[in-house]
Amino acid sequence: FYKDDTLTLKKEKYTGDLKLDGYYYSFYLSEKYVTVIFLYEDGTIIKGSHEMTSTKFQGIEEYLKDLGLLLQDVKNHKSLIGIFNTKSDSILYEKWYPSNGSKHSYIHSGKILNDSTFIINKSQRKGKKRIKKERVYHFKKYSPKLDSTNNCLD
């Protein structure tokens, strides 16, 4: 029996300038894949990645419908849920990832460039070597926003 990592970031109400009425996206691997992040005022983050099957935004919107259905059905799906914090122009988020029967948590960090763009350039699991990677996230307005209610966070 494996035990999931405990998230170390504390959930805090977000009061910064990043837009919250949509999602942030980043394409990678020659734009074949996309990562989508929703940020919520209560400090919750929902993050998922998906292989693109259609044109850029049509593919994202199709994926968001599937992600929304998954979240409605599985309110304790830890690998989609996490916590984010900001301080000045820095952003951090921590979430779980599946690993051999348990969920490991990783903290990702980066810099806020403006109210609709941020860069994540570091990732680290507690006690492990920091991984440098750079992914730029851009904002896109989207409604209705996915429900962030879940059974994973206090």
User: For 71-99, what is each residue's pLDDT tens digit?
Assistant: 665 456 778 889 999 999 999 999 988 78
Measure the CA–CA gap between 81 and 77, rounded to whole angstroms.
7
Q: How many CB atoms lie within 10 A of CB 126?
A: 12
* Each residue's pLDDT tens digit, 17-68: 999 999 999 988 777 788 889 999 999 998 887 776 666 666 677 777 776 6
Alpha helices in the chain (DSSP H): 56-73
Instruction: Output the pTM of the full model.
Output: 0.85
The CA-atom distances, in angstroms, between 9 and each of 6, 109, 126, 142, 144 are: 9, 12, 12, 27, 27
